[in-house]
Amino acid sequence: APPRQRSPPSAMAGLSSPITHFEEEVPVNVRQLDREEVCQPLGVAVTSGHIGTARCVSVRLTDPRDPFFLYSMTLSEDDYGRFKEAHELHVDWNGFPQDLISLLSGAFPTRPDHHGDIDRSTGSVAGPRNVTLRFVTAGTSGEQGTLRIMEPTAFREIELLRLALAKQGDVGQKQYLAERFKFFEAEYHHCFRERAEENSKAAKAVAALREQIEALERERDGLRGQLDREASTAELQRSTDLHALKDAHAVEVKQLRAEADREHAAAEERLRLPQAAGR
**pLDDT 10s digits, 234-253:** 999 999 999 999 999 999 99
The pTM score is 0.59
**What local confidence, expressed as pLDDT, does residue 273 receive?**
79
Regarding beta strands 157-167 and 144-152, do their DSSP bridges make them parallel or antiparallel, or are they unpaired?
A: antiparallel
Angle at 51 between CA 63 and CA 6, to 5 degrees: 55
Confidence of residue 179 (pLDDT cuts 50, 70, 90): confident
**243, 248, 249, 250 alpha-carbon torsion, rounded to 10°:** 90
Domains, the chain, with CATH or none: 16-168 (2.170.210.20)
The answer to whether 107 and 133 are in contact (CB under 8 A) is yes
The answer to whether 147 and 134 are in contact (CB under 8 A) is yes
**What local confidence, expressed as pLDDT, does residue 121 receive?**
43
Quick one: which of 31, 32, 12, 30 has its CA closest to 21?
12
**20, 25, 27, 28 alpha-carbon torsion, rounded to 10°:** 50
If you compute the radius of gyration of the chain from its CA atoms, what whole number of angstroms results?
A: 47
**pLDDT 10s digits, 124-149:** 444 456 899 999 998 788 889 999 99
| DSSP-assigned beta bridge partners for residue 16 | 50
Confidence of residue 74 (pLDDT cuts 50, 70, 90): very high
Region 190-211: mean pLDDT is: 95
**What local confidence, expressed as pLDDT, does residue 117 receive?**
44
**What local confidence, expressed as pLDDT, does residue 278 receive?**
67
Least confident interval from 41-45, 85-89, 108-112: 108-112
Q: Which residue has the higher pLDDT, 196 or 271?
A: 196
**What local confidence, expressed as pLDDT, does residue 180 receive?**
79
**Other C-beta atoms within 10 Å of 107: how many?**
21
Confidence of residue 113 (pLDDT cuts 50, 70, 90): very low
**pLDDT 10s digits, 212-234:** 999 999 999 999 999 999 999 99
Angle at 160 between CA 68 and CA 119, to 5 degrees: 125
- Across the chain, mean pLDDT equals 84
